[in-house]
Amino acid sequence: MSQIEMHTPAGGGDPIADLSKAPLPTGKTLKMRQSLPFQFTRFLSFNGRIMRMVIKGHH
Amino acid sequence: MAEVVILGAGVSGHTAALHLRRMLGREHSVTVVTPNANWNWIPSNIWVGVGEMAKKDVVFPLAPVYARKRIGFRQAKATAIHPSGDHEDSRGAVDIEYTAADKAGTTEMLRYDYLINATGPKLRFEATEGMGPGGFTESVCTADHAVEANHKLREVIAKLKEGTPQTLVVGMGHGTCTCEGAAFEYVFNVDHELREAGVRDLARVVYLTNEAALGDFGVDGMVFDQQGFQTTSELWTGSLFRERGVEAILGAHVSKVEDGLIHYETLDGTTHTLGFDFAMLIPPFGGVPLKAYDADGTDITAEIFAPSGFMKVDADYTAKPYEEWRATDWPTTYAAPGYDNLWAVGIAFAPPHQISRPRKTTNGTLVAPSPPRTGMPSGVMGKTVAMTIADRINHGTGAKAHTASMARMGAACVASAGAGLTRGSAAAMTMLPVVPDYQRYPTGRDERETRGELGLHGHWVKLMLHYLFIYKAKARLGWQLIPE
């Protein structure tokens, strides 16, 4: 079941998905997305995940 | 002495060739047949398509690499396979036609002991009237297409700078397209470029997709564990689109494109038109046209290939409803049924069915994202088959086949925008496995490894993958240590 509904405006416009209830990031989240020290830890975590996938699922 | 022939030099074919050369003695030959002179790191075409990279940054000539590694190279396209040979020789053979300028049109028959079909996709722009570089829309499927897309994008940005509002549409050009991740990444990049140019407020950016829900990506969406709560790729993607002000039209089948006008139908059966000043639409993929003949010349194309043109392998192709699809339907060895020396890998193999639930509009039009086969799984398939062939050559034809199912292996998808190390941004996703296994995991996938994150680190990952995989593809020192 889709969480995001399509919305066709009266008058036959384009049926645009209603994103008004999609969560927006807070100011803190936006700041953390650009924080070099925090992002470096996420970089290491992402690479760790890729390597685990290589070990778990490749052969 | 054994002769191995590989059709195609994309991620899977090139990976197979390099590993085979590494694992086989010099008395055995490895030959690659590909119509292209260059290798292309296709994921970075997205950056070429917005001018962040040049074509030379994403391609390099294959001939010097193959000469250095002593891999045979024919710049040619395969036209037919004879898996049981012909009246002259029972060994398998493949007909090829040269595409290099100096020998264009010349034909040759290559004999083989082992054959890998890694021909990749045929870009079926013709499936939608008016779509593609010969029509009214752009593409980023090849480096040349991406260069042209960037030229058109710059024209639109120039008009925006003059104060003329523009509509930019990015998405899928047919109801059965795959590679939604590429369109998602491109729209993310287009939005970024418009912001960098200071003209975002005058631009309408629309993501037009065959996905029934945002975040489907042709893999039935994902469930993420986020701070102890389950969230979906749909909500996560929706958040990104809302934040960026990108409009989304879902469940769409594009039926026709005219100059500045896209005709499409949505799942409720209604038809619409969408005006545009710039459109990048991904075409549906089909198998590269290849015929197949038995030893007596009988046409066995329909036995070897699915109607889509992709080669049948060890998958369960029994037609069954979505609810009965299983992870075990997916191939593990990629061997063609009935042949112990013929394989298809990467995009060239025929998937048993879609991954996302296929749908039809109320008019009966199929809207069914096809399964993506991205770089990571394609590379793994190429290496897996290379290991099987090397074992059979080195240890006897009874050696057991190596396996790698898309229902066991993972994939990463990084949609990155920007340039440099401090000004980029990215949506980075990992999933394990690619094909959900609801018998094994309640959400279909391993929640620990299936994640979506936004931030600068994803941009670093994408840059790292760009340089690492080009290094690997050039077979530089230690290339084999870089995982697929």
Q: Kindly report, residue by residue over B356-383, the tens digit of the pLDDT.
A: 999 999 999 999 999 998 888 999 999 9
Tell me how close the Cα of B43 comes to any Cα of chain A, in angstroms.
Answer: 17
Cβ–Cβ contacts within 10 Å for residue B56, how many?
A: 10
Residues from chain A contacting residue B428 (CB–CB below 8 Å): 46
Q: B214, A51: Cβ pair inside 8 Å?
A: no
Report the number of secondary-structure helices (H) and strands (E) in chain A.
Answer: 2, 2
**Per-residue confidence (pLDDT) for residue A5, from 0 to 100:** 67
**How far apart are the CA of B92 and the nearest CA of chain A, in angstroms?**
28
The answer to whether residue B84 sits within a structural domain is: yes
Using a CB–CB cutoff of 8 Å, tell me whether A18 touches chain B: no
Which residues 105-164 on chain B approach chain A with CB closer than 8 angstroms?
none
Tens of pLDDT, residue by residue over B162-214, are 999 999 999 999 999 999 999 999 999 999 999 999 999 999 999 999 999 99
B272 interfaces chain A, CB cutoff of 8 Å: yes
pLDDT in tens, B387-420: 999 999 999 999 999 999 999 999 988 888 876 7
Return the pLDDT at A2: 66
Render pLDDT for B9-57 as a digit per residue (tens, 0 to 9): 999 999 999 999 999 999 999 999 999 999 999 999 999 999 999 999 9
Contact criterion met (CB < 8 Å) for A14 and B247: yes
Domain annotation covers residue A33: yes
A43/B457 CB distance under 8 A: yes
Which residue segment(s) compose the domain that A56 sits in?
A: 25-59
Q: What is the mean pLDDT of residues B290-297?
A: 97
**B432/A51 CB distance under 8 A:** no
- What local confidence, expressed as pLDDT, does residue B422 receive? 83
Q: What is the pTM of this model?
A: 0.95
A51 touches chain B (CB under 8 A): yes
pLDDT at position B373: 86
Say whether residue A23 is in contact with chain B using an 8 A CB cutoff. yes
Using the predicted structure, report yes or no on whether residue A1 has a pLDDT greater than 60.
no
* % of chain B at pLDDT higher than 70: 100
Mark yes or no for CB contact A14/B235 under 8 Å.
no
Residue B114, CA distances (Å) to A58, B144, B173, B229 in order: 23, 33, 37, 49
pLDDT for res A11 = 54
Q: What angle do CA B261, B158, B263 make, to 5 degrees?
A: 10
Q: What angle do CA B424, B426, B427 make, to 5 degrees?
A: 170
Q: Is-contact B215 B234, C-beta < 8 A? A: yes
The dihedral of CA A7, A13, A19, A20: what is its sign? negative
Whether the per-residue pLDDT at B257 is higher than 90: the answer is yes
**pLDDT at residue A8, as a whole number:** 56
The whole-angstrom separation of Cα B354 and Cα B221 is 13
Please indicate if any CB of chain B lies within 8 Å of the CB of A31: no
pLDDT at residue B332 is higher than 90: yes
A7 assigned to some structural domain: no
CA B244 to chain centre: 26
Q: Search chain B and give the residue with CA nearest A40.
A: B457
Query: Can you give the pLDDT at residue B65?
Result: 98
- The tally of domains found in chain A comes to 1
Which of A12, A33, A50 is closest, CB to CB, to B456? A33
For A38, list phi and psi in degrees, rounded to 5: -65, -45
Using 50, 70 and 90 to split pLDDT, how confident is the model at B151? very high
Check residue B229 and give its pLDDT: 87
For residue B106, tell me if it sits in a domain.
yes
Token representation of residue B191: 């939005």
The answer to whether residue A56 is domain-embedded is: yes
Count of domains observed in chain B = 1
Question: Is the ipTM, as predicted for this complex, more than 0.85?
Answer: yes
Q: Residue B7 pLDDT > 60, yes or no?
A: yes
Q: Which of B242, B272, B422 sits opposite A22 (nearest CB)?
A: B242
Look at B453 and A42 and tell me if their CB atoms are within 8 Å.
yes
Beta pairing class for B271-275 and B203-208: unpaired
C-alpha distances out from residue B434 to B172, B196, B407, B411, Å:
21, 34, 6, 6
Interface A–B counts its CB contacts (< 8 A) at 126
Q: What is the pLDDT of residue A56?
A: 75
Asked whether the beta carbons of residue B247 and residue A17 sit closer than 8 angstroms, the reply is: yes
* pLDDT tens column, B119-146: 999 999 999 999 999 999 999 999 999 9
Write down the pLDDT at residue B416.
86
Q: Report chain B's mean pLDDT, rounded to a whole number.
A: 95
Contact A23 B239 (CB under 8 A): yes
Measured CA to CA, the distance from residue B223 to residue B217 in angstroms comes to 13
Judge contact between B95 and B79, C-beta under 8 A.
Answer: yes
CA distance A24 to chain B (A): 6
Nearest CA-CA distance, residue B235 and chain A, Å? 6
Tell me how far apart the 2 most distant CA atoms of chain B are, in Å. 70
Q: Is the pLDDT of residue B100 over 60?
A: yes
**Residue B124 β-bridge partners:** none
Q: Is residue A17 part of a domain?
A: no
> Using 50, 70 and 90 to split pLDDT, how confident is the model at A9?
low
- Listing DSSP states for B351-374 in one string gives PSS-SSPPEE-TT--EE-PPPP--
Domain that holds residue B30: 3-123+285-395
Q: How many CB atoms lie within 10 A of CB A18?
A: 14
Q: Is B212 on the interface with A (CB under 8 A)?
A: yes
Q: What is the DSSP letter of B174?
A: S
How far lies B160's CA from each of B199, B261, B262, in Å? 6, 19, 21
CA-nearest residue to B244 within chain A is A24
DSSP designation for B317: -
How far B247 CA sits from the closest chain A CA (Å)? 6
Q: With contacts defined as CB-CB under 8 Å, which chain A residues touch B408?
A: 57
Does residue B144 fall inside a structural domain?
Answer: no
Q: What is the CATH number of the domain that holds B75?
A: 3.50.50.100
What mean pLDDT is predicted for residues B449-455? Answer: 92
Cα–Cα distance measured from residue B33 to residue B19, given in angstroms and rounded to the nearest whole number: 16
pLDDT (mean) for B418-432: 84
In 3-state terms, what secondary structure has residue B32?
strand
DSSP state letter for B1: -
Q: Which residues in chain B have Cβ-Cβ distances shorter than 8 Å to A15?
A: 249-250, 266, 268, 270, 272
Domain-embedded: residue B119: yes
How high is the pLDDT of residue B355? 96
Residue B225, pLDDT score: 85
Does any CB of chain A come closer than 8 Å to the CB of residue B461? Answer: yes
Question: Which residues in chain A have Cβ-Cβ distances shorter than 8 Å to B461?
Answer: 43, 46-47
